[in-house]
């Protein structure tokens, strides 16, 4: 069945027409796709509705240039929970379960608004979302949102196109990851036909690092990367104190987890770091080994087949020790894929 089937699309257009207040949400620790999809929709709706983007926590500096970014609200119960409760419609973009909005979860669940999910993570939570447009084959939520705009007959403005292109670029690692499909290029091609400056987008995302971030990357690769040839696995563990020595700012470690996968025999990579009092775990793989099952089974998380994450409330060293102890158990899974 077609993802954006006519009946649902017509219903949503009708609901949007009638809605007075619309809230757009995306996941904790927003990335380029979460921000790109939220802001693309926001830039379409902002002149037509009372509309806002509310995110669970901070936006990395790398993305603060995006059109509409300055108007994003960061969730704070006292300041903006009422917006969620009083909304007529809520869009959930780039996440598949309400726990991914962290402290906003209960307010989101309790809100009587009509909830619409557009997302590309496997196994969407059905209970609280009235409309679910979920396609794990999509490389990015921005890919799906473009198709949603098309299905609705909504015009994609230059500002929205910039945001959509950002999400496509970041979630595909500049169109290199396996998830990049024919349709991804088709959407990219339509965006590329618009008068947007793609070189400037790439410049903002990849050529605007701080000196500290570059030196931190060097430090991590030369001193912190542990490779287990036998298990085709590598991991990086970074303490808060180490990161702070390089003037760490939110987003600086984005992409570090991918680096070990450039080693020929490494098929599975992990990155562990303390953030906001908990240990954030990131997993990546190349080939058929599914890291979302590892994130789900052992690290309170989830994600895509080749890119997943999780968390732990235990001390960093303990989390990493546990990870290393898992390797002999899953070595066959890694090897066979
Ligand atoms: P990252 O490693 O970049 O933080 O996350 C990689 C992927 O895993 C993203 O698609 C993200 O949505 C998902 N992910 C990261 N952390 C979590 C988590 O705690 N729970 C779930 N369910 N998914 C996560
Ligand atoms: Mn995404």
The 10s digit of each residue's pLDDT in 103-131 is: 999 999 999 999 999 999 999 999 999 99
Contact between 178 and 306 (Cβ < 8 Å): yes
Task: Tell me the CA distances in angstroms from 21 to 24, 79, 121, 160, 271, one per residue in order.
Answer: 10, 16, 27, 20, 39
114: three-class secondary structure by DSSP: strand
Q: Is the pLDDT of residue 15 over 90?
A: yes
The 10s digit of each residue's pLDDT in 21-56 is: 999 999 999 999 999 999 999 999 999 999 999 999
* Residue 44 CB-density burial (10 A; 0-12 exposed, 13-18 middle, 19+ buried): buried
Give strand pairing partners of 21: 50
Residue 249's pLDDT is 94
State which ligand 1 atom lies nearest to the alpha carbon of 96.
22
150 alpha carbon – ligand 2 mean position (Å): 19
**Which residue's CA is minimally distant from atom 16 of ligand 1?**
309
The 10s digit of each residue's pLDDT in 289-303 is: 999 999 999 999 999
Which residues have CB under 8 Å from 94's CB, separation 6+?
Answer: 26, 27, 30, 31, 33, 34, 37, 38, 119, 120, 121, 141, 167
**Which residue's CA is minimally distant from atom 13 of ligand 1?**
303
State which ligand 1 atom lies nearest to the alpha carbon of 282.
2
Which of 56, 303, 310 to mutate to test ligand 1, by most ligand atoms within 8 A of the CB atom?
303
**Which residue's CA is minimally distant from atom 15 of ligand 1?**
309
Average pLDDT, the chain: 97
Residue 9's pLDDT is 98
Q: Is the pLDDT of residue 181 over 90?
A: yes
Residue 336's pLDDT is 79
279 alpha carbon – ligand 2 mean position (Å): 21
The 10s digit of each residue's pLDDT in 239-280 is: 999 999 999 999 999 999 999 999 999 999 999 999 889 999
Long-range pairs for 6-11 at CB < 8 Å and ≥24 separation? 8/131, 8/133, 9/148, 9/151, 9/152, 11/131
6 alpha carbon – ligand 1 mean position (Å): 31
**Which residue's CA is minimally distant from atom 23 of ligand 1?**
302
Angle formed at CA 16 by CA 158 and CA 68, multiple of 5 degrees: 35
58 alpha carbon – ligand 1 mean position (Å): 16
Q: Is the pLDDT of residue 216 over 90?
A: yes
Q: Is the pLDDT of residue 337 over 80?
A: no
Question: Is the overall model pTM greater than 0.85, yes or no?
Answer: yes
The 10s digit of each residue's pLDDT in 49-96 is: 999 999 999 999 999 999 999 999 999 999 999 999 999 999 999 999
Which residues have CB under 8 Å from 237's CB, separation 6+?
Answer: 224, 226, 271, 272, 273, 316, 317, 320
Task: Tell me the CA distances in angstroms from 136 to 27, 203, 298, 326, one per residue in order.
Answer: 16, 29, 22, 27
Ligand 1 within 6 A of CB of 302: yes
Q: Is the pLDDT of residue 199 over 80?
A: yes
State which ligand 1 atom lies nearest to the alpha carbon of 94.
12
Task: Tell me the CA distances in angstroms from 178 to 84, 125, 145, one per residue in order.
Answer: 36, 25, 20
160 alpha carbon – ligand 2 mean position (Å): 16
Q: Which ligand is nearest to the CA of 304?
A: 1
The 10s digit of each residue's pLDDT in 153-171 is: 999 999 999 999 999 999 9
Ligand 1 within 6 A of CB of 310: yes
Contact between 66 and 166 (Cβ < 8 Å): yes
Q: Is the pLDDT of residue 1 over 90?
A: no
Where do runs of H (alpha helix) occur along 126-176?
141-152, 158-171
- Torsions phi, psi of 228, nearest 5? -110, 95
All structural domains of the chain: 6-206 (3.90.1640.10), 213-334 (3.10.310.30)
Ligand 1 within 6 A of CB of 32: no
Ligand 1 within 6 A of CB of 59: no
229 alpha carbon – ligand 2 mean position (Å): 30
State which ligand 1 atom lies nearest to the alpha carbon of 121.
10
Q: Is the pLDDT of residue 286 over 80?
A: yes
Q: Which ligand is nearest to the CA of 135?
A: 2
Residue 276's pLDDT is 86
């Amino acid at each position: 069945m077609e993802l954006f089937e006519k009946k649902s699309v017509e219903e949503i257009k009708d609901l949007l027409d009638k809605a007075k207040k619309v809230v757009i949400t995306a996941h904790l620790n927003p990335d380029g796709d979460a921000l790109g999809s939220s802001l693309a929709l926001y830039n379409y709706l902002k002149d037509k509705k009372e509309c806002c983007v509310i995110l669970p926590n901070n936006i990395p500096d790398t993305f603060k240039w995006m059109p509409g970014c300055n108007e994003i609200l960061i969730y704070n119960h006292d300041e903006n929970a009422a917006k969620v409760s009083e909304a007529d419609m809520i869009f959930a973009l780039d996440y598949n379960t309400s726990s991914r909005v962290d402290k906003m979860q209960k307010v989101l669940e309790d809100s009587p608004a009509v909830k619409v999910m557009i997302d590309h993570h496997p196994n969407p939570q059905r209970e609280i979302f009235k409309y679910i447009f979920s396609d794990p084959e999509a490389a990015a939520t921005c890919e799906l949102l473009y198709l949603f705009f098309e299905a609705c007959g909504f015009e994609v403005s230059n500002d929205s196109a910039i945001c959509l292109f950002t999400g496509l670029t970041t979630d595909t690692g500049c169109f290199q990851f396996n998830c990049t499909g024919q349709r991804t290029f088709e959407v990219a091609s339509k965006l590329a036909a618009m008068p947007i400056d793609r070189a400037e987008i790439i410049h903002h995302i990849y050529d605007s690092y701080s000196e500290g971030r570059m030196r931190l990357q060097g430090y991590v690769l030369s001193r912190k990367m542990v490779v287990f040839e036998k298990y085709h696995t590598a991991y990086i563990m970074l303490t808060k104190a180490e990161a702070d020595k390089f003037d760490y700012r939110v987003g600086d470690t984005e992409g570090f987890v991918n680096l070990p996968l450039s080693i020929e025999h490494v098929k599975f990579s992990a990155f562990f770091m303390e953030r906001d009092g908990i240990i954030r775990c990131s997993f990546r793989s190349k080939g058929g080994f599914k890291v979302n099952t590892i994130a789900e089974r052992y690290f309170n998380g989830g994600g895509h087949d080749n890119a997943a994450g999780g968390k732990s409330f235990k001390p960093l060293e303990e989390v990493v020790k546990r990870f290393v102890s898992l390797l002999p158990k899953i070595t066959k899974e890694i090897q066979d894929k």
